[in-house]
């Protein structure tokens, strides 16, 4: 088992009252899963994903990632955990505009203190694998949306994480580009990468092996 959530809740204080974004979520993920989280706007999809990605802490409940209790360990260890094992893909790509494709890909490796020879090799591999060698010196603004998202995925994958978290990865793309991105995910899943995606679209949902439906913070 890659991760497990037990009775997880998330709330915010608003006007002296607790407003639940997530309530009593129980949920587990095995290695190699491709999970789609579905639900209408405001149902808590992104909150759940951010919690799993450790960008945000749950208010209550237990969260185990690779048998480590995420809800009790220190910030530093938690950062280490997600740095090592989780890659993020965002709806609006979140590439750094001032860096070229190649430099964007390098960045996670720099923070993980890879040696420069290793970085070179990994970047070259990744550029090759995603067929973007020709674009390595371009800036994000010079790429189409689909290409930018491809770079985003490549960046998420470059340090070989166990888990990819994708928050509406095709939300800003047209249908053809979206399909290509989803194809890429499928390919990755086939070679063993665990993927959790948040999506609105039934079509994208179909790529996943398991679906979790959220409504008003509950799994339905």
Partner 1 sequence: MFKNHIKIALRNLVKNKGFTFINIIGLSVAFGVAILLSMTAFFELSYDQFHENKGSIYQIYTTEQTTKEPQVSLSNPVPLAPSLQEEIPGIDKISRQLEEKIILSFNDKQFNLDISWVDQDFFSIFSFPIVEGNKNHPLKELSSVVITQETAKNIFGAQDAIGKTVLLQINQKEEPFVISAIAEDNKPNSSIEFDIAVNFVRHSKYQQNKDAWDTKNHQVYIQLDKEVSVANFEKSTAAFTNLHYKEEIDKLKRDGVLPDQNNQYMQLHLFPFEDNHFLSFPAGKANVSKTLPYLVLGVAFLILLIACVNFVNMNIAKSSTRLKEIGMRKTLGATKKHVFFQFWFESILIFLTTIIIGVGMSVLLLDPFKTLFNTEASLGSTITPVIGFGFILAFFMITLLAGGYPALLLSKLGTLQVLKGKLNGKGRNHVRDVLIIIQFAIVILLTSGAFVLWGQLDYMRSKDLGFNKEHVISFPLNGKRNSYEAIQLIREELERQPNIVSVTGSDNNLGIGKDGSVYQSILGFDHKGKGVKTNMLVVDYDYPETLDIELKAGRTFNRSFPNDSKSILINEAMAKELEESDPINKQIMMDDSIKYTIIGVIKDYNFRKLNKKIDPITLFMDTEWDLYYGYVKIAPTNIIESYDNIKSIWQKIEPQAAFLGSFLDENIDRTFRSEKIMITIITSGAIVAVILSCIGLLAISLLVVNQRTKEIGVRKVIGASVSSITILLAKDFIKLVLIAFACSVPIAWWSTSNWLENYSYHIDLTLWFFVISGILAILIALATISVGTIKAAMQNPVKSLRTE
Which residues are at the interface with partner 1 (CB under 8 A)?
50, 53, 55-56, 79, 82-83, 88, 90, 94-99, 103, 106-108, 110-112, 155
24 vs 56, which CB is nearer to partner 1? 56
CA dihedral 190, 192, 197, 200 (to 10 degrees): 10
Number of H helices, E strands in the chain: 7, 10
- The DSSP secondary structure of 36-64, one letter per residue, reads EEE--TTSSHHHHHHHHTTSS--SEEEEE
20 vs 179, which CB is nearer to partner 1? 20
Q: How far is the CB of 113 from partner 1 (least distance, A)?
A: 8
Q: How far is the CB of 100 from partner 1 (least distance, A)?
A: 9
89 vs 207, which CB is nearer to partner 1? 89
130 vs 207, which CB is nearer to partner 1? 130
Q: For residue 37, give the nearest of 207, 157, 205, 176 by alpha carbon.
A: 205
Q: How far is the CB of 161 from partner 1 (least distance, A)?
A: 11
Q: How far is the CB of 218 from partner 1 (least distance, A)?
A: 22
CA-to-CA distance for 28 and 163, rounded, in angstroms?
Answer: 13
Q: How far is the CB of 143 from partner 1 (least distance, A)?
A: 16
Q: For residue 58, give the nearest of 13, 12, 17 by alpha carbon.
A: 12
Task: Report yes or no: 158 and 128 within 8 Å, Cβ to Cβ.
Answer: no
100 vs 177, which CB is nearer to partner 1? 100
Instruction: Calculate the CA 173 to chain-centre distance.
Output: 17
CA-to-CA distance for 64 and 81, rounded, in angstroms?
Answer: 11
């Amino acid at each position: 088992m890659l991760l497990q959530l037990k009775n997880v809740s998330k709330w915010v204080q608003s006007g002296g009252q607790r407003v639940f974004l997530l309530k009593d979520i129980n949920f587990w993920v095995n290695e190699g899963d491709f999970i789609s989280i579905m639900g209408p706007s405001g149902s808590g999809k992104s909150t759940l994903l951010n919690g799993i990605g450790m960008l945000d802490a749950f208010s209550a409940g237990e969260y185990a990632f690779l048998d480590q209790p995420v809800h009790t360990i220190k910030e530093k260890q938690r950062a280490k955990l997600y740095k090592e094992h989780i890659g993020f893909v965002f709806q609006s790509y979140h590439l750094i505009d001032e860096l070229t494709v190649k430099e964007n890909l390098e960045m996670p490796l720099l923070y993980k203190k890879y040696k420069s020879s290793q970085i070179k090799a990994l970047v070259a591999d990744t550029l090759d694998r995603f067929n973007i060698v020709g674009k390595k010196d371009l800036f994000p603004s010079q790429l189409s949306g689909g290409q930018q998202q491809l770079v985003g995925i490549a960046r998420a994958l470059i340090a070989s994480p166990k888990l990819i978290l994708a928050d509406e990865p095709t939300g800003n793309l047209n249908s053809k580009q979206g399909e290509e991105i989803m194809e890429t995910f499928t390919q990755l899943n086939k070679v063993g990468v665990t993927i959790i995606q948040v999506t609105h679209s039934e079509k994208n949902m179909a790529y996943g092996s398991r679906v979790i439906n959220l409504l008003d913070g509950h799994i339905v």
